[in-house]
């Protein structure tokens, strides 16, 4: 079961890399970043954690890995970030929410939309958090140096 999740999330993340026209030599890294993020999320949710904090932790992991990749391969971080975060993005729920709106089921639709906003906010917080840590590390290093 976990192996299925690993393989599908790898293909999904690198497939999105192709849809977003990521450079050819970054596709495998994109897939790996997405895979690790999704697996962390999957484990946390399996262990009974709520989806929002699980998304935040997974997003932090994705951002950290993207930072490492962008340093190592000298490419802008957005390449790894964007494809890596895709499995966590609440696209499915966003679509579901809109479907309920269109079907006049406003009660469920509002609930789902709120969840979308929270999850998107969680992803943004996760991404920002690692950026802030990165900046702080750099600034502290400069102060010491």
Partner 1 sequence: MEETITIEKICMLAGKIMLVSGAETNRVEDTMNRIASSLGVKNPQSYATPTGINFSVDVAATTNSLRILKRSTDLHKIAEVNDVSRKLTAGSIPIHEAFRQLKAIERENSEYPAWVQIIAAALVSGCFTIMFGGTWEDFLPALIAGALGFTGMLTFERVVEIRFLAEFFGAFLIGASAYLFVSMGFGNALNMVIIGAVMPLVPGLHITNAIRDLMSGHLVSGLSKGVEAMLTAFAIGAGVAIIYAFV
Which residues sit at the interface with partner 1, rule CB under 8 A?
4-5, 8-9, 11-12, 15-24, 26, 38, 75-76, 78-79, 82-83, 85-87, 89-92, 94-99, 101-103, 116, 120-121, 123-125, 127-128
Q: Which is nearer to partner 1, 128 or 140 (CB)?
A: 128
Q: How many Å is the maximal CA-CA distance in the chain?
A: 61
How far is residue 56's CA from residue 125's CA, in Å, rounded to a whole number?
7
**Closest separation in Å from C-beta 30 to partner 1:** 9
Q: How far is the CB of 22 from partner 1 (least distance, A)?
A: 4
Cβ count within 10 A of residue 17: 26
Residue 117: φ, ψ to 5°: -65, -45
Provide the minimum distance between the beta carbon of 145 and partner 1 in the complex, in angstroms, as a whole number.
20
CB of residue 144 to partner 1, shortest distance in Å: 25
Taking the C-alpha atoms of residue 128 and residue 71, their distance in angstroms, rounded to an integer, is 17
Nearer to partner 1, 49 or 75 (CB): 75
Contact 124, 56 (CB under 8 A): no
Residue number with CB closer to partner 1 (106 or 144): 106
Task: Check if the beta carbon of residue 29 is closer than 8 Å to that of residue 104.
Answer: no
């Amino acid at each position: 079961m976990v192996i299925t999740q690993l393989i599908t999330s790898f293909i999904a993340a690198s497939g999105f890399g192709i849809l977003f026209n990521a450079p050819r030599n970054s596709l495998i890294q994109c897939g790996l970043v997405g895979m690790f993020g999704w697996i962390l999320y999957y484990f946390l949710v399996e262990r009974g954690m709520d989806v929002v904090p699980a998304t935040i932790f997974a997003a932090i992991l994705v951002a950290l890995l993207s930072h490492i990749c962008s340093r190592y391969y000298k490419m802008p971080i957005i390449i790894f970030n964007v494809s890596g975060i895709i499995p966590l993005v609440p696209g499915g729920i966003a679509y579901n929410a809109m479907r309920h709106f269109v079907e006049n089921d406003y009660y469920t639709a509002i609930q789902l939309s709120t969840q979308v906003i929270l999850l998107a906010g969680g992803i943004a917080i996760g991404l920002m958090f690692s950026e802030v840590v990165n900046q702080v590390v750099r600034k502290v290093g400069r102060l010491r140096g």
